[in-house]
Structure 1
Amino acid sequence: MKSRNKSAFTMIELIVYLGIVISVLLLNLALIKVVNLSNPAENAFWDSMADCWNEMTVKSQIYHTSYRVELNSDRVVFVPKNRQLKVKSLRYPRDLQIAQYVQINVADDGFVSPRTIHWYSKDGREKYQQKIQLGWSGYRLKKME
């Protein structure tokens, strides 16, 4: 029996082709998830930083005390002028650093002057810009690509 030339895929070729396409799509989805997941230590640090910043702003208004926020080489320290309040300290994640010492003064009503703090990775590339907003608005964090 003679077979005719067929221009279409056979069933086996179709199954193999679909298997390859599905494998490539699943691999891409897995890689996208890995790339989108940032460092969990950094996420925990920024969550803690936001909590401490909000706590500092509220306590400065409630207790009418000013704060000094010090960004040292390895940690950020929230120092209240009122000695009865606790000093808070957060260590930076291993891959995060600032270029120089930064001191931020927070008024006794929670007011903060605007400024930008540049955060760097250990290899010296800028990783984040933390923009302290005028007044009582807190800060915005922008991840650099």
Structure 2
Amino acid sequence: MKFKNRRGFTVVELLVYLAVIIGILMINLMLIKVVEAGNPSERIFWNSFDSAWNRMIMNAKAEDIYYRVSIRDTDVTFYPMYARRHAGPIRSEHIKVPSSMHVRSIKTLTATDDGFTAPTTVIWLDQEGHVKYDQKIQMGWSGYRVEKR
């Protein structure tokens, strides 16, 4: 029995075709994950900022003190300012800003012992001057929110 001229794919050819397509999709997904991971020094900076912010909140509530937060190109500093009483010295904290980003304008915030500060937006730029992050600091202990652009 002879087969006539076949037009189409065999099962093996379809499986190979699907394997190639799936391989290309997997490579693209891995590349997207790498790009989204971003700069590790920036992740470390945001984790350090979050830790310092939470320590500021706990110290302010426990010790009845307020804080001055200075945000500059090179560093972010949390300065404790004694209000009513203090149990002992609380050190200021300095967090180094990674070289891949800088702040558009220097900001100084004051967080009172009850957590209130003026609502502020800090704009972080990349090395080329494009907006990289919007950091919105809100009143009360609700804290801040960072949005990546």
Fold equivalence (TM over 0.5): yes
What residue in structure 2 maps to residue 77 of structure 1? 77
Aligned length: 144
Is 1:133 matched up with 2:141?
no
The whole-number CA distance in structure 2 between the counterparts of 1:114 and 1:7 is 69
Q: Indicate the percent of aligned positions where both proteins have the same amino acid.
A: 39
Q: Structure 1 counterpart of 2:114, which letter?
A: D
The whole-number CA distance in structure 2 between the counterparts of 1:131 and 1:15 is 51
Q: Structure 1 counterpart of 2:47, which letter?
A: D
Aligned pairs (5 A) from 1:10-21: 10-21=10-21
CA gap of 1:22–1:73, structure 2 versus 1, over 3 A, is closer
Q: Structure 2: which 5+ runs fail to align?
A: 83-87
Q: How does the TM-score come out when normalised to structure 2? A: 0.86
CA gap of 1:5–1:96, structure 2 versus 1, over 3 A, is same
Q: Structure 1: which 5+ runs fail to align?
A: none
Distance apart, 1:19 and its partner CA: 3.3
Distance apart, 1:108 and its partner CA: 2.4
Distance apart, 1:12 and its partner CA: 4.9
Shifted more, 2-11 versus 23-32: the winner is 2-11
